[in-house]
Chain A
Amino acid sequence: MPDSEPIGSRTHPLTGLVQGVLWAGAAMLALLGTLFTGGNGEDGLPIWLDVLMRVGGGLVVGITFGFLTWWFTRYLIDGTELRITSGILQKSSRRIPYERIQSVDIAEPFLARVIGLAELRIEMAGGRSARSSLRFLPLDDARRLRRILLGRAHGRTADELEADSVEPELELIARVSPERVMLGTVLSLDFLAAALGSVGVLAAALWFDQVLAFLGGIIPLVTWLGQIVGKRVLTQWDFTLSRSNDGLRIERGLLSRSSQSIPFARVQGVAVEEPYVWRRLGWQRLEVDVAGFGSQGDSDSADINSTLLPIADPVLAATVIDELVPGARMAPEERVQVPRRAWPFAPIGWRYRWVAADDVAFVARSGWLQRTTDVVPHARTQSVELKQGPWQRRLGVATVEVHTPKGPVDADGPHLDEADAHRVAFAQLALARKARLPRAG
Chain B
Amino acid sequence: MTSDLFAPPGAPWQRVSPALTKVRRILAIPPLVLIAVITGALAAGRVGSEWLTVLFTVVAIAALAIAAWTWSWAARNTASWGYAEDEDDLLVTGGVMFRRLVAVPYGRMQVVDRQAGPIDRAFGIASVTLHTASTETAATIPGLPADEATRLRNRLTELGESAGAGL
Contact = CB atoms under 8 A, between A and B. Distances in A.
Contacts of A379: 165
Contacts of A382: 104-105, 108, 132-134, 136-137
Given A418-B1, A429-B89, A433-B88, A383 B139 contact: yes
Query: Among B6, B89, B103, which residue has the most Cβ atoms of chain A within 10 A?
Result: B103
B51 interface: no
A425 B98 contact: no
Contacts of B100: 385-388
Nearest to B109: A383
Contact of B5 (A127, A384, A422, A429): A422
B98 A268 contact: no
A383 B108 contact: yes
B115 interface: no
A127 B133 CA distance: 7
A418 B5 contact: yes
A388 to B, nearest CB: 5
Interface string A382-398: 11111111100100101
Interface residues of A, number: 38
Nearest to A399: B100
A419 B139 CA distance: 23
Given A291-B133, A382-B134, A396 B103 contact: no
B9 A426 contact: yes
A199 to B, nearest CB: 39
Contacts of A404: 134, 136
B102 interface: yes
B110 interface: yes
Interface string B91-122: 00000011111111101101100000000000
Given A268-B167, A382-B134, A429-B103, A388 B5 contact: yes
A426 B103 CA distance: 9
A379 B165 CA distance: 9
B99 A405 contact: no
A404 B167 CA distance: 10
B162 interface: no
B17 to A, nearest CB: 24
Interface of B: 1-2, 4-6, 9, 88-89, 97-105, 107-108, 110-111, 132-137, 139, 165-167
**5 A-B pairs closest in CB distance:** A403-B134, A382-B134, A127-B110, A386-B101, A383-B104
28 contacts: A127-B167, A266-B167, A268-B133, A291-B167, A380-B167, A381-B108, A382-B133, A382-B136, A383-B104, A383-B132, A383-B137, A384-B102, A384-B103, A385-B101, A385-B103, A386-B6, A387-B99, A388-B2, A388-B98, A388-B99, A396-B1, A401-B136, A418-B2, A419-B1, A422-B5, A425-B101, A436-B105, A436-B107
Given A125-B166, A381-B108, A404-B136, 12 more contacts: A266-B167, A385-B101, A385-B136, A387-B98, A388-B2, A393-B2, A405-B134, A405-B167, A418-B2, A429-B105, A433-B105, A436-B107
